[in-house]
Amino acid sequence: MADIDSVPRRIPLGHKVRAGLAALLALLVMMAGVAIALIVNLSRGDTQLQDDVPFTTAIASASLDAKTVANDQRGFLLTGDAMYQREADQHVATVRRDLAAAVRAATTDEERRAASESSTGFERWWMATRTEFATYRAGNRQAAIAASVGPDRELRKQYEGSLQRTRSLGQSSLQSATNWLPGSATRAVAILIGCLLVALVAGAFIAFWLVRQISLPIFKLAAMLTPDSV
């Protein structure tokens, strides 16, 4: 009589079925994990894009308003009309709000530092411009004009250059985020399709294996119960 311990033990059918179902569940969890990771990655890119927009917008607005202040300066020095000075004061307040908004909206230390330097340069030029206005009102029109086209003009060029560099910095960051998002979305779709194909093949194989494990004992039992043909 053969030793009972030497007979290989068969894995119960229930264990096989549970193993197959567990494999299918693990495949589903893996697919869900990949999808979530891709969505989170795209969400970060979209958040970066949304964060870059306020900074770039604020700097662009500050640049436009600062040019308006320069036009008010020229208008006052040419005509002496106090209306230009009042409008300059209003536009300066707008420039300050824009630059303060840019500092708050900056997403990097470099952007924050650039916006702060632009603000400092603008304030330096505006202080010189106010001195021009005072000189003009004191009756020394030629001295005010000379200052505006001399050292004060250099101050204006400095802050305008600083604003342009700050604006370019924001636009570069915005463009980078804009370019990154479509490419990442395309890669995410490709990865999802690839994972889906792998999951379908693996799922089909596991399903076939489960059906085979369940059907084979049934076929064997049916064969045992069927009388032999005469």
Measure the CA–CA gap between 150 and 120, rounded to whole angstroms: 20
Task: Find the largest Cα–Cα distance for the chain.
Answer: 133
3-state DSSP of 126-187: HHHHHHHHHHHHCCCHHHHHHHHHCHHHHHHHHHHHHHHHHHHHHHHHHHHHHHHHHHHHHH
Task: Tell me what pLDDT residue 15 has.
Answer: 63
Alpha carbon of 15 to those of 10, 164, 182, 210: distances in Å? 10, 70, 46, 11
Task: Tell me what pLDDT residue 132 has.
Answer: 92
What the block records as the tokens of 48 is 């970066």
CATH 3.40.50.2300 fits 12-222, yes or no: no
Asked if 46 and 184 count as a contact pair (C-beta separation under 8 A), the reply is no
Task: Tell me what pLDDT residue 58 has.
Answer: 87
Please state the separation of Cα 208 from the chain's center in Å: 44
**Torsion sign over Cα 17, 20, 22, 24:** negative
Task: Tell me what pLDDT residue 218 has.
Answer: 67
Q: b/e per residue, 44-83, with b = 16+ CB within 10 A?
A: ebeebbebbebbbbbbbbbbebbebbbebbebbbeeeeee
Measure the CA–CA gap between 106 and 90, rounded to whole angstroms: 25
3-state DSSP assignment of residue 1: coil
Residue ranges per domain, the chain? 12-222
In the chain the first and final C-alpha atoms are separated, in Å, by 34
Q: What is the mean pLDDT of each run of 10 residues along the chain (230 residues)?
A: 49 64 71 68 56 80 90 91 91 93 87 90 93 91 89 90 85 62 64 72 72 67 59
Task: Tell me what pLDDT residue 29 has.
Answer: 74
Task: Tell me what pLDDT residue 109 has.
Answer: 87
Task: Tell me what pLDDT residue 197 has.
Answer: 74
